[in-house]
């Protein structure tokens, strides 16, 4: 199932890249928060979206990318463990509202994040953003959250993997 979702996302963005209308690509870095801060020390990733202008100052589209969480040492029930790196590939609907006569915007990506690590489930993905837009790029601050479960020491633990990210996206025309 994961491979099918990935194949579909890359096929869509491969065909969208040919047209280059509304395509943006970029990256982000961030600090894990919530449950993710227990297992990861840093996060980084790549972003891609294809947007259509459907109303004045409002764009709607699809988004994907990859978010990588760098593992760290942590305690669990009095024992010390080293968390492996883990990552997610979101497949989401993206909405963005641009304020009239101001170069700022608010946005929301909402969908499902596919885990690329065995023992970590995918889950609901949401990322609200606030940013600054120019004709060639946009800078944003966002809060990424992924509802997930993790296998650990014969237990299934509910997690909310979150991160506060700073990102930049470039518009391709």
Q: ∠74-89-53 over CA atoms, to 5°?
A: 135
Q: Which of 38, 53, 138 is nearest to 83 (CA)?
A: 38
The mean pLDDT values, 10 residues at a time, for the chain of 173 residues are: 46 40 92 88 96 93 96 82 89 95 95 88 93 95 86 63 95 85
Q: Which residues contact 116 (CB under 8 A, 6 or more apart)?
A: 2, 66, 86, 87, 88, 89
Q: What is the pLDDT of residue 5?
A: 45
Q: Which long-range contacts (CB under 8 A, 24 or more apart) does 27-32 make?
A: 27/167, 27/168, 28/67, 28/142, 28/165, 28/166, 28/167, 28/168, 29/165, 29/166, 29/167, 30/144, 30/163, 30/164, 30/165, 30/166, 31/163, 31/164, 32/69, 32/161, 32/162, 32/163
Distance CA 94, CA 140 (A): 14
| C-beta separation of 74 from 81 below 8 A | yes
Distance CA 4, CA 57 (A): 34
Domains belonging to the chain, first-starting first, are: 2-172 (2.40.160.20)
Q: What is the pLDDT of residue 114?
A: 93
């Amino acid at each position: 199932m994961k491979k099918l979702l990935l194949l579909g996302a890359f096929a869509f963005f491969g065909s969208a890249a040919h047209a280059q209308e509304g395509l943006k690509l970029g990256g982000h870095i961030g600090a894990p928060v919530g449950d993710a801060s227990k297992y990861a020390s840093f996060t980084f990733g790549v972003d891609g979206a294809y947007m259509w202008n459907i109303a004045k100052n409002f764009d709607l589209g699809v988004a994907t990318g990859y978010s990588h969480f760098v593992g760290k040492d942590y305690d669990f029930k009095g024992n010390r463990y080293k968390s492996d790196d883990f990552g997610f590939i979101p497949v989401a609907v993206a909405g963005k509202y641009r304020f009239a006569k101001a170069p700022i915007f608010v946005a929301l990506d909402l969908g499902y994040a596919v885990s690329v690590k065995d023992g970590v489930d995918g889950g609901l993905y949401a990322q609200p953003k606030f940013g600054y837009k120019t004709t060639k790029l946009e800078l944003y601050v966002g809060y990424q959250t992924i509802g997930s479960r993790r296998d650990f020491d014969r237990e299934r633990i509910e997690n909310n993997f979150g991160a506060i990210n700073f990102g930049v996206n470039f518009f391709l025309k």
